[in-house]
């Protein structure tokens, strides 16, 4: 699947975001190894610690459906800055994805490609498999 196609699915997911406090809407689309796609959006809560990011929503949905092998993720946001994943989302990705896992971040009509290893070098890993 082309990055642009995954980004378009993330853009559609962004429309479902619940972001009344920050007004920063985020959508994510996660491509599984079997080519299925799970999307997610950010869901804010008045108790900010209970907020869930779009990336984790997509990953947790995939896990709940029995998927644990992923090929790429696209993240799109309503703001002008590229929506790089937060530290918590990066660490969740490390649980299931290797350092070469592609991460596409997009805003407007532009996107950047990076890898999980570039986003989170020396990540916490009990087994040391993601070094």
pLDDT, tens digit, 9 for 90 and up, residues 50-101: 999 999 999 999 999 999 999 999 999 987 888 999 999 999 999 999 999 9
pLDDT for the residue numbered 129: 56
d(CA 28, CA 20): 18
Tell me the C-alpha distance between 10 and 54, whole Å: 9
CATH fold label, 3-119 = Cytidine Deaminase; domain 2 (3.40.140)
> What are the domain boundaries of the chain?
3-119
pTM of the entire structure?
0.91
Tens digit of each residue's pLDDT (9 = 90 or more) over 93-127: 999 999 999 999 998 778 999 999 999 998 887 77
User: How far, in Å, CA of 22 to CA of 77, rounded?
Assistant: 12
- Catalytic residue IDs: 55
């Amino acid at each position: 699947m082309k990055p642009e196609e995954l980004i378009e699915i993330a853009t559609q997911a962004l429309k479902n975001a619940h972001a009344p406090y920050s007004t920063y809407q985020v959508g994510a689309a996660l491509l599984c190894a079997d080519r299925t796609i799970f999307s997610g959006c950010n869901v804010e809560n008045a108790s900010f610690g209970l907020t869930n990011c779009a990336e984790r929503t997509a990953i947790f949905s995939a896990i709940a459906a029995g998927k644990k092998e992923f090929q790429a993720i696209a993240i799109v946001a309503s703001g002008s800055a590229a929506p790089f994943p937060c530290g918590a989302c990066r660490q969740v990705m490390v649980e299931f994805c290797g350092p070469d896992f592609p991460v596409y971040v997009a805003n407007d009509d532009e996107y950047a490609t990076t890898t999980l290893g570039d986003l989170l070098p020396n990540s916490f890993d009990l087994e040391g498999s993601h070094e």
